[in-house]
Structure 1
Amino acid sequence: MATPLPQAYMLLMISALKLITEVALLALVGQWILGLLAGQRKQHNVFYQVLEIIGRPFVQFTRWVTPRVVLDRHLPLVAFLILGFVWLAVTVAKISHCLKVGVSLCQ
């Protein structure tokens, strides 16, 4: 019989997943804004390339889970939407966990 994770580890796991999601969301938003500002020369921009590297695993995962009918140019937007829903779910899970164990333990 497996023992449940202690409350602190559960909070750590939820917070880590929330942090990873937030970093990915910010990387995709930053890449989009920088792409608008840089225009056609965005592929030569170092900061755009860094943001693209950060967001690439999430865009590739989106390609893997979406049907082929979704165009490749739409994948970052779909990845952003999926990550947004994941962020909402993890935030609700964190709030629920904190209410269950006590808000003072979540600070």
Structure 2
Amino acid sequence: MLLFLIGALRAIVEMLGLALLGLAAMSVLAGSRRHDNVIYRLFELVTRAPRRLVATCLPASTPPVVSGVLCFVVLFVIWMGLALWRLTLA
């Protein structure tokens, strides 16, 4: 049961990381009109909670790009930690 929960958490973290990468790609591709793009708004909605959580740990003057990159790094570390935990249990 614990292995399943770790796998499910890992899948959620992986989905959030990929959504952050998609958000960055759409930001580059769509440019200033990105807020009109439906896919960009979907990625923004999905990643809003982790980005806000990371942004609360940073100073208010931090640009959104930095908080987005830091959010991706945090998600990657969590994903790797869950993978290592799963390996130790198996």
Settle same-fold status: TM greater than 0.5.
yes
How many residues of Structure 1 are paired with residues of Structure 2 in the alignment?
A: 89
Aligned residue number for residue 71 of structure 1: 62
Match for residue 16 of structure 2 among 14, 17, 24: 24
Determine what percentage of the aligned residue pairs are the same residue.
25
Offset of residue 67 of structure 1? 3.1
Structure number with greater Rg is 1
- TM-score (normalised: structure 2): 0.91
Q: CA deviation at 1:63?
A: 1.7
Structure 2 residue identity aligned to 1:71: T
Structure 2: distance between partners of 1:75 and 1:15: 26
Structure 1 segments, 4+ long, off by >3 Å, are none
- 5+ residue gaps, structure 1, are 1-8, 99-107
> Amino acid of the residue matched to residue 37 of structure 1?
L
Work out which structure has the larger RCO, using CA pairs closer than 8 Å and 6 or more positions apart in sequence.
2
Match among 41, 45, 56 for residue 48 of structure 2: 56
Matched, 1:37 2:29: yes
Aligned partner of 2:79 in structure 1 is 87
Query: TM-score by structure 1 length?
Result: 0.78
State the distance in 1 between where 2:71 and 2:4 align. 24
1:40-95 deviation per Cα after TM superposition (whole angstroms, max 9, x unaligned)? 1001100000000001111011123x231661412111100100100110011111
